[in-house]
Amino acid sequence: MRISDKGLALVESLEDFHPVVYMDNAGLPTIGYGHKLKPVEAFPNGVTDEEATALLREDVAMAEHAVNTFVKVPLTQGQYDSLVDFAYSVGGSSLEHSTLLRLLNEGKYEEAAAQFVLWDHAGSDGLLRRREAERAMFTMPRSRYLAPAESRPITNCTACKNPLCPRQRHGIFVGHLLLLMGFYPWECLNCGMSYYLHQSKTRHLDQTSA
Protein backbone atom coordinates (compact mmCIF):
# COMPACT_ATOMS: atom_id res chain seq x y z
CA MET A 1 0.00 0.00 0.00
CA ARG A 2 0.91 3.64 -0.37
CA ILE A 3 -0.30 6.74 1.42
CA SER A 4 -3.31 8.36 -0.21
CA ASP A 5 -3.76 12.02 -1.06
CA LYS A 6 -5.92 12.38 2.04
CA GLY A 7 -3.22 10.81 4.17
CA LEU A 8 -0.62 13.12 2.72
CA ALA A 9 -2.95 16.03 3.42
CA LEU A 10 -2.96 14.99 7.08
CA VAL A 11 0.82 15.16 7.23
CA GLU A 12 0.79 18.54 5.48
CA SER A 13 -1.82 19.85 7.91
CA LEU A 14 0.35 18.86 10.88
CA GLU A 15 3.65 20.18 9.52
CA ASP A 16 4.41 23.88 9.13
CA PHE A 17 5.02 24.93 5.52
CA HIS A 18 8.20 26.94 4.86
CA PRO A 19 8.75 28.00 1.23
CA VAL A 20 12.41 28.90 1.88
CA VAL A 21 15.22 27.14 3.72
CA TYR A 22 15.35 27.57 7.49
CA MET A 23 17.23 25.92 10.34
CA ASP A 24 15.11 23.55 12.41
CA ASN A 25 15.42 23.04 16.17
CA ALA A 26 18.30 20.64 15.61
CA GLY A 27 20.15 23.15 13.44
CA LEU A 28 19.49 21.28 10.20
CA PRO A 29 18.59 23.11 6.97
CA THR A 30 14.97 22.38 6.26
CA ILE A 31 12.36 23.45 3.72
CA GLY A 32 8.76 22.78 2.74
CA TYR A 33 6.95 20.40 5.07
CA GLY A 34 9.93 19.50 7.23
CA HIS A 35 12.16 18.20 4.43
CA LYS A 36 15.78 17.97 5.60
CA LEU A 37 18.14 19.07 2.84
CA LYS A 38 20.53 16.46 1.49
CA PRO A 39 24.16 17.47 0.80
CA VAL A 40 23.46 17.69 -2.94
CA GLU A 41 20.27 19.73 -2.57
CA ALA A 42 19.90 23.49 -2.78
CA PHE A 43 16.77 25.58 -3.16
CA PRO A 44 17.99 29.14 -3.79
CA ASN A 45 14.54 30.18 -5.03
CA GLY A 46 12.60 28.26 -2.42
CA VAL A 47 9.88 25.73 -3.25
CA THR A 48 6.33 25.99 -4.44
CA ASP A 49 3.48 24.26 -2.69
CA GLU A 50 3.50 21.49 -5.31
CA GLU A 51 7.27 21.00 -4.99
CA ALA A 52 7.00 20.81 -1.20
CA THR A 53 4.30 18.15 -1.49
CA ALA A 54 6.48 16.13 -3.86
CA LEU A 55 9.37 16.29 -1.39
CA LEU A 56 7.07 15.22 1.42
CA ARG A 57 5.84 12.24 -0.57
CA GLU A 58 9.47 11.14 -0.95
CA ASP A 59 10.11 11.65 2.76
CA VAL A 60 7.15 9.52 3.87
CA ALA A 61 8.44 6.58 1.80
CA MET A 62 10.41 5.27 4.81
CA ALA A 63 7.29 5.45 6.97
CA GLU A 64 5.34 3.60 4.28
CA HIS A 65 8.03 0.91 4.23
CA ALA A 66 7.83 0.54 8.01
CA VAL A 67 4.06 0.09 7.96
CA ASN A 68 4.20 -2.32 5.02
CA THR A 69 6.90 -4.35 6.77
CA PHE A 70 5.67 -4.51 10.35
CA VAL A 71 1.88 -4.64 10.03
CA LYS A 72 0.65 -8.20 9.42
CA VAL A 73 -3.12 -7.68 9.36
CA PRO A 74 -5.43 -6.15 6.73
CA LEU A 75 -5.82 -2.38 6.83
CA THR A 76 -8.28 0.07 5.38
CA GLN A 77 -6.76 3.04 3.56
CA GLY A 78 -7.60 5.28 6.50
CA GLN A 79 -5.89 2.93 8.96
CA TYR A 80 -2.86 2.70 6.72
CA ASP A 81 -2.62 6.47 6.26
CA SER A 82 -2.87 7.10 10.00
CA LEU A 83 -0.11 4.58 10.69
CA VAL A 84 2.13 6.15 8.06
CA ASP A 85 1.72 9.55 9.71
CA PHE A 86 2.42 7.95 13.08
CA ALA A 87 5.58 6.25 11.80
CA TYR A 88 6.66 9.46 10.05
CA SER A 89 6.26 11.33 13.33
CA VAL A 90 7.79 8.88 15.84
CA GLY A 91 10.00 6.78 13.54
CA GLY A 92 9.67 3.30 12.09
CA SER A 93 11.63 1.71 14.93
CA SER A 94 9.23 3.13 17.51
CA LEU A 95 6.32 1.72 15.56
CA GLU A 96 8.02 -1.69 15.38
CA HIS A 97 8.41 -1.94 19.16
CA SER A 98 5.11 -0.30 20.11
CA THR A 99 2.18 -1.79 21.99
CA LEU A 100 0.04 -0.26 19.27
CA LEU A 101 1.61 -2.53 16.65
CA ARG A 102 1.44 -5.61 18.89
CA LEU A 103 -2.27 -5.11 19.54
CA LEU A 104 -2.94 -4.39 15.89
CA ASN A 105 -1.17 -7.55 14.74
CA GLU A 106 -3.24 -9.48 17.27
CA GLY A 107 -6.33 -8.21 15.48
CA LYS A 108 -7.34 -5.91 18.34
CA TYR A 109 -8.09 -2.87 16.20
CA GLU A 110 -10.06 -0.90 18.79
CA GLU A 111 -7.43 -1.42 21.47
CA ALA A 112 -4.72 -0.43 19.00
CA ALA A 113 -6.60 2.77 18.14
CA ALA A 114 -6.64 3.72 21.82
CA GLN A 115 -2.84 3.60 21.85
CA PHE A 116 -2.35 6.64 19.61
CA VAL A 117 -3.01 9.24 22.31
CA LEU A 118 -0.61 7.48 24.69
CA TRP A 119 2.23 8.57 22.40
CA ASP A 120 2.11 12.12 23.70
CA HIS A 121 5.49 11.83 25.34
CA ALA A 122 6.41 15.48 24.87
CA GLY A 123 3.24 16.56 26.66
CA SER A 124 2.51 19.27 24.09
CA ASP A 125 -0.93 20.23 22.80
CA GLY A 126 0.32 20.02 19.23
CA LEU A 127 1.55 16.46 19.62
CA LEU A 128 -1.62 15.34 21.38
CA ARG A 129 -3.68 16.86 18.59
CA ARG A 130 -1.65 14.94 16.04
CA ARG A 131 -2.30 11.69 17.89
CA GLU A 132 -6.01 12.52 18.08
CA ALA A 133 -6.10 13.21 14.36
CA GLU A 134 -4.38 9.88 13.65
CA ARG A 135 -6.85 8.04 15.86
CA ALA A 136 -9.80 9.75 14.18
CA MET A 137 -8.50 8.72 10.77
CA PHE A 138 -7.75 5.16 11.94
CA THR A 139 -11.30 4.64 13.23
CA MET A 140 -13.12 6.31 10.34
CA PRO A 141 -15.40 3.92 8.41
CA ARG A 142 -14.05 2.89 5.03
CA SER A 143 -17.07 4.24 3.14
CA ARG A 144 -16.77 7.69 4.69
CA TYR A 145 -13.02 7.84 4.20
CA LEU A 146 -13.35 7.04 0.50
CA ALA A 147 -16.35 9.32 -0.09
CA PRO A 148 -15.67 12.20 -2.50
CA ALA A 149 -15.61 15.63 -0.92
CA GLU A 150 -18.35 18.10 -1.65
CA SER A 151 -19.95 20.97 0.22
CA ARG A 152 -23.52 20.44 1.39
CA PRO A 153 -24.88 22.80 4.07
CA ILE A 154 -26.41 21.53 7.27
CA THR A 155 -29.06 24.04 8.33
CA ASN A 156 -30.24 22.55 11.62
CA CYS A 157 -26.99 22.90 13.57
CA THR A 158 -27.50 25.14 16.61
CA ALA A 159 -24.36 26.15 18.49
CA CYS A 160 -22.61 23.02 17.24
CA LYS A 161 -25.02 20.70 19.05
CA ASN A 162 -25.83 18.73 15.94
CA PRO A 163 -24.31 15.28 16.66
CA LEU A 164 -23.28 15.03 13.02
CA CYS A 165 -21.08 18.11 13.20
CA PRO A 166 -17.42 16.97 13.03
CA ARG A 167 -16.48 19.50 15.67
CA GLN A 168 -19.05 17.97 18.01
CA ARG A 169 -18.00 14.39 17.24
CA HIS A 170 -14.22 14.71 17.28
CA GLY A 171 -13.41 17.95 19.11
CA ILE A 172 -12.52 21.35 17.71
CA PHE A 173 -9.06 20.69 16.27
CA VAL A 174 -9.69 17.24 14.80
CA GLY A 175 -13.11 18.32 13.52
CA HIS A 176 -11.54 21.25 11.70
CA LEU A 177 -8.84 19.04 10.28
CA LEU A 178 -11.21 16.38 9.00
CA LEU A 179 -13.44 18.95 7.35
CA LEU A 180 -10.51 20.70 5.70
CA MET A 181 -9.27 17.39 4.34
CA GLY A 182 -12.66 16.56 2.87
CA PHE A 183 -13.49 13.55 5.01
CA TYR A 184 -17.06 14.75 5.50
CA PRO A 185 -19.20 15.43 2.42
CA TRP A 186 -20.86 18.51 3.90
CA GLU A 187 -20.11 21.60 5.93
CA CYS A 188 -21.71 23.02 9.05
CA LEU A 189 -22.83 26.60 8.43
CA ASN A 190 -24.43 27.40 11.78
CA CYS A 191 -21.53 26.86 14.18
CA GLY A 192 -19.81 30.12 13.28
CA MET A 193 -17.47 28.69 10.66
CA SER A 194 -17.32 28.32 6.91
CA TYR A 195 -15.36 25.54 5.25
CA TYR A 196 -13.95 25.17 1.80
CA LEU A 197 -13.22 21.54 1.15
CA HIS A 198 -10.46 20.05 -0.98
CA GLN A 199 -8.91 23.29 -2.17
CA SER A 200 -5.14 23.72 -2.20
CA LYS A 201 -3.99 24.81 1.26
CA THR A 202 -7.54 25.70 2.25
CA ARG A 203 -8.23 27.31 5.58
CA HIS A 204 -11.35 27.61 7.69
CA LEU A 205 -12.87 30.94 8.67
CA ASP A 206 -13.57 30.77 12.37
CA GLN A 207 -15.73 33.54 13.74
CA THR A 208 -16.04 32.01 17.20
CA SER A 209 -13.71 31.94 20.15
CA ALA A 210 -14.54 28.31 20.88
Which are the catalytic amino acids?
15
Nearest-angstrom CA–CA distance, 32 and 16: 8
Query: DSSP secondary structure string, 52-88?
Result: HHHHHHHHTHHHHHHHHHH--S---HHHHHHHHHHHH
Taking the C-alpha atoms of residue 178 and residue 191, their distance in angstroms, rounded to an integer, is 16
Residue 113, helix vs strand vs coil: helix
Distance between CA 144 and CA 134 in Å, rounded?
Answer: 15
CA 178 – CA 174 distance, rounded (Å): 6
Q: Return the closest-CA partner of residue 11 out of 169, 134, 94.
A: 134
Closest by Cα among 111, 86, 121 to 7: 86
Non-local (6+) Cβ contacts of 196 within 8 A are 151, 202, 203, 204
Q: Helix or strand or coil: residue 22?
A: strand
